[in-house]
Chains A and B, each alone.
Chain A
Amino acid sequence: MQIFPCPFCGPRDEREFHFATEAGKPRPEPADKVSAEDWAAYLYANEAPRGEAREVWLHLTCGEYFVMTRDTLTREVKGSETLPGRRA
């Protein structure tokens, strides 16, 4: 059972968190200018890196989304930060 650091609440048990998405995937829009390929890539294509990954997670108990950097191989958590422009 891993421990994840919520920027707002501190270290908590992984059962309190949900994975949301990989970080750094801007939503392509407006809809009528987005190609089918770009939209499919946005919906379904993920890097799923072996090693360091930047991901958006949700801390269910406080309802805040944040960015976490972790190693998918060693399970080491490198750190977490608020979404851009937000303050903890």
Chain B
Amino acid sequence: MSGWRLDRGGEIDRDRPIGFTFDGHAVTGFAGDTLASALLASGRRVLGRSFKYHRPRGLWGAGAEEPNAIVDVTEGGVTTPNLRATLEPLREGLALRSVNTWPEAARDRHRLLDRLNRFLPAGFYYKTFMAGGWMRWEPMIRRMAGLGRLDPANAPPADCAQINARADLLVIGAGPAGLAAARAAARAGRAVWLIDDGDAPGGSLRWRGGDIDGGPWRDWCADTQERILRAGGKILSRTTLWGAFDHGLYAAWERRCGAPDRLWRIRAGDVILAAGAIERPLWFANNDLPGVISAEAALRYLTLHGAVAGRRIVLATGNDGSYPVAAALARAGCDVTLADARGDTPDAPEGVDLRRETRVTGAEGRDAVARVRLNGVLQEADTLLVSGGLTPSVHIFMQAGGRLDWDAECDALIPRAGSASMRVAGAANGAFALADALAEGHAAAGGAGNAPRAEAAGDWGVLPMRPDPDAAGRQWIDFQNDVTLKDVALAQREGFVSVEHLKRYTTLGMATDQGRTSNFAGLAAMAGLTDRSIPETGTTTYRPPFLPVPLTVIAGRRRGQLFDPPRRLTLERAHRAAGAQLREYGGWLRPAHYGDDEAEAALREAGVARETVALYDASPLGKIEVIGPGAAELLDFCFFTRLSTLKPGRARYGLMLSETGIVFDDGVTLRLAGDRFIVSASSSHVDGVRLRLEDARQDRFDPARVFLHDVTAHWTTLCVAGPRARDVLRAAGVPVDLDDAALPHMGVTEADWNGRTLRIARVSFTGERSYELSVPSRHAEWLESLLAARVGEAGGGRIGLEAVLTLRAQKGFILIGKDTDGLTMPQDLGWPNRREDEFIGKRSLLTDEALRNDRRQLVGLTATDGGAAFTAGAHLVPLDAARRSLGFVTSVAPDPGAPHALALLESGRSRMGESVGVFDNGAVREARVIAPCAFDAKGERLHA
């Protein structure tokens, strides 16, 4: 126990205590706390166990850079894994669970694993667990390593809005540089979007304070915000800009209290990056012990939350930025020793024991810091604050394609001006001192006049601090992924000297941490080991997201029913009222069958169509109108089947190919007049067929002579099929001459039915006498109720798609993509080419491949063992030769009296009457090869 709480100060409300639990222990914080600040003030130090060695880990940082304090949070019975305690506001009713621990962080049962560390170097898993196969060991390793646990019950609502926005000027970060930039732009009348991941604008001013333009920074900050809003700008707090994408697109994640998060997609004109910098750790023996904390973070907790990291504090540093931290802690009543590695330092702050030329060489303690070794001498301390310098936050700049240059003065890689389409200002650019940050922000926005003034901060003296490979003890480079300096050295010895290889081999900078605190140390260590400079060593690639973004935010509302919404029939309500069970077919929600028992219902309904008359909804069938004097010419080129010879008032079945000769779609085309066709593309292929027609229309023909119009959704088509179909239409009073001489099979006619347009096509997908009646969809319910009543009187009924699919399989009518695959050409379906003129796919029908005589061809199969229907997908195999696939079953008609199957079979048409094996659910059954059509081969029922 070392952390404690001040009696006053900070932005918390001490009148509103909030209780929560951590690993089952009760903890109290206050409104305004983050989970991290409440835990720090509670004195709890072991907050988790490390990824690999299960070493105790405590709080390190105060923001997105936090590598250790990652918790599973249960709220309202739902657990969300791997939340950063530093980013989550404290609220009522939370239960926190440390990650990778059992039963709890403080008493983890795998804690002894750390003693085996010398046997677990980098690459240990790769080298060791190949014996017997990785799959054998993986479950055990997964249990012992990793982060939080997924809660299968956690199905968060799809309520994250995603908002597209445009910004003339986007300023990323509302610290001093960002505020100065936004202020200058607002003064010039620009509408600025200012985005910041803190609770309120101010950035480091909020904990470092300072006077700007002669007054308190808060006044200046409030005035700046007012100016931004007055100029039409926008300020988003608690919003992390996490990704830069092509053409000036930026993604931001807004966290809102008591409301769903939001994703902003911002298309920005100009961008100024003022994302600040992240403090580096220091490297010494046991530098990962709980109680070793970023100095900057300690100041932030002290100022914002009144949470003090400890009582006997050692602060180890090599830069001026740590002096205000030491001063503030001393004022708060802490015993502070300031160990500065430099000889030439500023004066000691009041009440601070300053030791010059002093480095920390080790930390000791069982589960947390108890003693600190300074220049080799042990000193009692409960907390060790460290500052190894600052790493500019250049992630967004790098995602946008930027380059970095080494800047020795600030001891960091900083953005190369002009290498990405954004300007960078402030600490993100290496300008750490307040006055410099203000000046850079002002200049980046092209500010007129003087930049905002701050007290001269002097130069930000920085002594480069580096990991020392010769120092004793284990020095952690990457806290989250448990990578030590020795691992980096091992990688170097084994030849993994590229930083990208180093990363993959040691896991340095991987996972949710992405090297925010570790990357610099890793590449600095590798640079030292290979005698290269840091810029020569390079950096790994920066990719979005900057920090883990919940998948709920990225998915937004496009989940569940909205993920891929099916298209709905105009008559869905009527179908449901009639007892239909709906299912998705090719993107449409359609009646599958009526009643509960699917298999029974589908057979019964198929019988209705064969015996009396059936009614089903065929509306999803494509209806692409092709209109104009060039219509016939366009269709001739796009279809395998010639359509210009079709007479008006007639319909023709045809195939459409790809240029590769593969069958792309099939369907019936109606010709209503010389210059007017309707292409009935397959229900799921309508868009594809339309775009192919458009392609040829625009790129080959005169688009002024032919026009395409997809009216699929405008019309409702009901199909009346069965021996009594014509009786039903007559009883319904259809105003058309239904005599077969006037309206034969494959005939089409249009009529006016009391002011309603009606189109009737005699097209049969079932093999029965069949009438497709189409009306504009506003008349759908009228037509459906009329036909349903007459069908009922004729002894028939409604049928679903399952029955229709059975009926068509019995007839050998194919479904593209089910009875054909990506190799099927028209001749495989029994349609050799007879055309002389040009059409899409023609040349491919002349290739050697197309002319092979052992192509897979469409056939029918009948079981000769008297067994049940075959299973679709079952492979066909030789009965008396070595087993190999000759093809497969594509469709089945499961009529128990006469089960029939369609199949693609090698040289199928030359095997008619032969037997073939069907490898069906593990057993080889025998089948006879027959014609695809197994029912009414002469088509007499079409005219019955």
Contact = CB atoms under 8 A, between A and B. Distances in A.
Decide whether A and B are members of one complex: yes
Interface string A27-38: 111111010100
A12 B829 CA distance: 42
B838 A29 contact: yes
Given A75-B246, A75-B247, A31 B846 contact: yes
A65 interface: yes
A42 B844 CA distance: 11
A28 B846 CA distance: 14
Nearest to B842: A31
Pick from B660, B694, B843 the residue with the most CB of A within 10 Å.
Answer: B843
Contacts of A18: 691
Given A29-B838, A32-B846, A43-B660, A2 B247 contact: yes
A86 B660 CA distance: 28
Contact of B699 (A3, A28, A32, A65): A65
A36 B246 contact: no
Pick from B246, B267, B698, B846 the residue with the most CB of A within 10 Å.
Answer: B698
Contacts of B700: 27
A43 B694 CA distance: 19
Given A2-B247, A36-B848, A75-B247, A31 B843 contact: yes
Interface string A1-43: 1110000000000100010100000011111101010010011
B511 to A, nearest CB: 26
B659 A43 contact: yes
A63 B843 contact: no
A14 B845 CA distance: 35
Given A1-B246, A1-B247, A2-B246, A29 B843 contact: yes
Interface in A61-88: 63-65, 75, 77, 83, 86
Interface string B258-291: 0000000101000000000000000000000000
Nearest to A20: B695
Nearest to A36: B847
B285 to A, nearest CB: 48
Contacts of A43: 659-660, 844
B249 interface: yes
A36 to B, nearest CB: 6
Contact of B838 (A31, A36, A56, A83): A31
Contacts of B873: none
Contacts of A63: 690-691, 694, 708
A26 to B, nearest CB: 10
A59 B844 CA distance: 28
Contact of B691 (A1, A39, A58, A83): A58
B19 interface: no
B585 to A, nearest CB: 23
Contact of A39 (B694, B699, B708, B844): B844
B245 interface: yes
Kindly state the interface size class of chain A when it binds its partner.
20 to 34
Nearest to B694: A63
B247 A3 contact: yes
B577 to A, nearest CB: 36
A34 B547 CA distance: 56
A30 B838 contact: yes
Contacts of B843: 28-29, 31, 34, 39
A86 B698 contact: yes
Contacts of B792: none
B703 interface: yes
Contacts of A30: 838
A86 B691 contact: no
Contacts of B847: 36, 39
B566 to A, nearest CB: 20
A78 B759 CA distance: 49
Contacts of B844: 39, 43
A68 B659 CA distance: 23
A1 B643 CA distance: 42
Contacts of A58: 691, 694-695
Nearest to B848: A36
Contact of A65 (B245, B265, B690, B698): B698
A83 B698 contact: yes
Contacts of B690: 63
Nearest to A76: B247
Interface in B650-666: 659-660
A34 B838 CA distance: 12
A64 B246 contact: no
Contact of A1 (B249, B660, B708): B249
A29 B696 CA distance: 15
Interface string B685-709: 0000011001100111001000010
Contacts of A14: 246
Contacts of B249: 1
Contacts of A86: 698, 703
A18 B694 CA distance: 13
Nearest to A1: B249
Contacts of B247: 1-3, 75, 77
A29 B843 CA distance: 8
Contacts of B842: 31
A64 B757 CA distance: 31
Interface string B232-266: 00000000000001110100000000000000010
A44 B289 CA distance: 60
A43 B708 CA distance: 26
Contacts of B848: 36
A49 to B, nearest CB: 18
B698 to A, nearest CB: 5
Contacts of B838: 29-31
Contacts of A3: 247, 267
A17 B513 CA distance: 36
A1 B698 contact: no
B699 A83 contact: yes
B588 to A, nearest CB: 20
Nearest to B248: A3
A65 B694 CA distance: 8
6 contacts: A2-B247, A3-B247, A20-B695, A28-B843, A36-B848, A58-B694
Given A20-B695, A83-B698, 4 more contacts: A14-B246, A18-B691, A28-B843, A65-B694
Interface of A: 1-3, 14, 18, 20, 27-32, 34, 36, 39, 42-43, 56, 58, 60, 63-65, 75, 77, 83, 86
Which 7 A-B residue pairs are closest in the complex by CB-CB distance?
A31-B843, A31-B842, A2-B246, A1-B249, A2-B247, A39-B843, A3-B247
